[in-house]
Amino acid sequence: MTDVAREVGVTAKTVSRVLNDDGPVAAETRRRVMEAVRRLGYQPNLMARNTRVGARDAAIGLVVPELGNPFFGTVAGGVEGAVRARGLTLIVGSSDETAGHEQALIATFLARRVSALMVVPAADGDHRHLRAERVAGLPIVFLDRPAAGLTADCVVSANREGARAGVAHLIAHGHRRIGFVGDLPAALYTRRERLQGYRDALDAAGLPFDRALVETGHDLEAAARATLRLLALPDPPTALFAGNNLASMGAVVALTRAGRKDVALVGFDDLPLAEALDPPLTAVAQDPAAVGAAAAGLVLARLDGDRSRARRVTVPTRLIVRGSGELPPRTI
């Protein structure tokens, strides 16, 4: 910046004024500064700008469990769009679903003095350590899953209600033994909520809850094995409810491998190829981009000075009926 100033014959302060549209600058000076900036290829140093007291970086930190999972990718995309419109930069990091990595990422984001923090908490995360930051006024919003040990803004899908609707759909088609293929770990918020929705639907229909019908797998192959275990039970389910996108894919793959096109299936989370499957997959569709956008909206409101108390936003889900959920129960 000093170089640019020297080139034009003014002080760094004047250059700063030009670049920030701050204070009066003669049109001619402005022109010459701009020209020198271009000629020298000068780029302001954002790091230095932010050393001044209390200054915050024009970046927002987002922590997701896995970058490779399209669900979180789409969430991040939703956040990015909303945030970019405000001239803020989104910094994304992946916690690998590990509390340790999550804390490390949050620490580097804080050290960078991001102006807000958005977190999809790892299953075993703990966010009490963020209380001080929250009190200090840093906007913190949790996505997809609420914070552990901290009252904070939060945007989640209608997990319980969505799962209830999906399972009720199976019950309405005559099923009485319905398997649940869920996420690992069992303590994961989304899994607990969806399992609760599953139980709600059973209760409403007067059906018993059978712990043996709940199986678990944390990736596609594990979910496929979980599905096969359910099918191998002495009194197997005639329908399955899959608790997330990987579980859905695992269940589809397992049913295909086992040649069991007669088992009804409803998945939580829609899949791009849902309609191309045989039978086409009935799904409880989430709207991950909307979750991201809603969270970004909350953050921006907080940045604009909204000091109201922590809010929880629930993004609705939608049951998409395609065929796999309407198969009649068939005893083997």
241 contacts 170 by C-beta, under 8 angstroms: yes
Distances (CA, A) of 112 to 61, 89, 116, 304: 9, 13, 11, 20
Of 256, 244, 252, 192, nearest to 218 by C-alpha is 244
In the complex, least distance from residue 114 CB atom to DNA, rounded to whole angstroms: 15
Applying CB under 8 A, among 85, 108, 128, 172 the residue interacting with a copy of itself is 108
Look at strands 140-143 and 178-182 and give their pairing.
unpaired
Separation of alpha carbons 213 and 175, rounded Å: 13
CA angle 285, 289, 290 (to 5 degrees): 80
Phi then psi for residue 118, to 5 deg, are: -125, 130
Among 70-78, 161-169, 233-241, 305-313, the segment contacting a copy of itself (CB under 8 A): 70-78
Choose from DNA, a copy of itself, none: what does 144 bind? Cβ within 5-8 Å by kind.
Answer: none
Binding to a copy of itself by residue 70, rule CB under 8 A? yes
Of the two residues 76 and 300, which places its CB atom closer to a copy of itself in the complex?
A: 76
Binding to DNA by residue 151, rule CB under 7 A? no
Binding to DNA by residue 6, rule CB under 7 A? no
- Number of Cβ within a 10 Å radius of residue 3: 12
Residue 96 exposure: Cα atoms within 13 Å on the Cβ side:
6
In the complex, least distance from residue 149 CB atom to a copy of itself, rounded to whole angstroms: 16
Separation of alpha carbons 146 and 139, rounded Å: 15
Of the two residues 253 and 313, which places its CB atom closer to a copy of itself in the complex?
A: 253
Applying CB under 8 A, among 68, 206, 208, 234 the residue interacting with a copy of itself is 68
In the complex, least distance from residue 132 CB atom to DNA, rounded to whole angstroms: 16
Separation of alpha carbons 237 and 227, rounded Å: 10
Applying CB under 8 A, among 14, 33, 37, 69 the residue interacting with a copy of itself is 69
Choose from DNA, a copy of itself, none: what does 26 bind? Cβ within 5-8 Å by kind.
Answer: DNA
Burial (CB < 10 A; 0-12, 13-18, 19+), residue 276, is exposed
Footprint on residues 26-55 left by DNA (CB under 7 A): 26-29, 44-45, 48-49, 51-53
Of the two residues 94 and 195, which places its CB atom closer to a copy of itself in the complex?
A: 94
- Number of Cβ within a 10 Å radius of residue 267: 29
Binding to a copy of itself by residue 43, rule CB under 8 A? yes
The two structure tokens encoding residue 93: 């990091």
Binding to a copy of itself by residue 323, rule CB under 8 A? no
**Positions that interact with a copy of itself (CB under 8 A):** 41, 43-48, 50-51, 57, 59, 66-70, 72-74, 76-77, 80, 84, 89-94, 101, 105, 107-108, 110-113, 132, 220, 249, 252-253, 255-257, 271-273, 275-278, 289
**Positions that interact with DNA (CB under 7 A):** 1-2, 5, 9-14, 16-17, 19-20, 22-29, 44-45, 48-49, 51-53
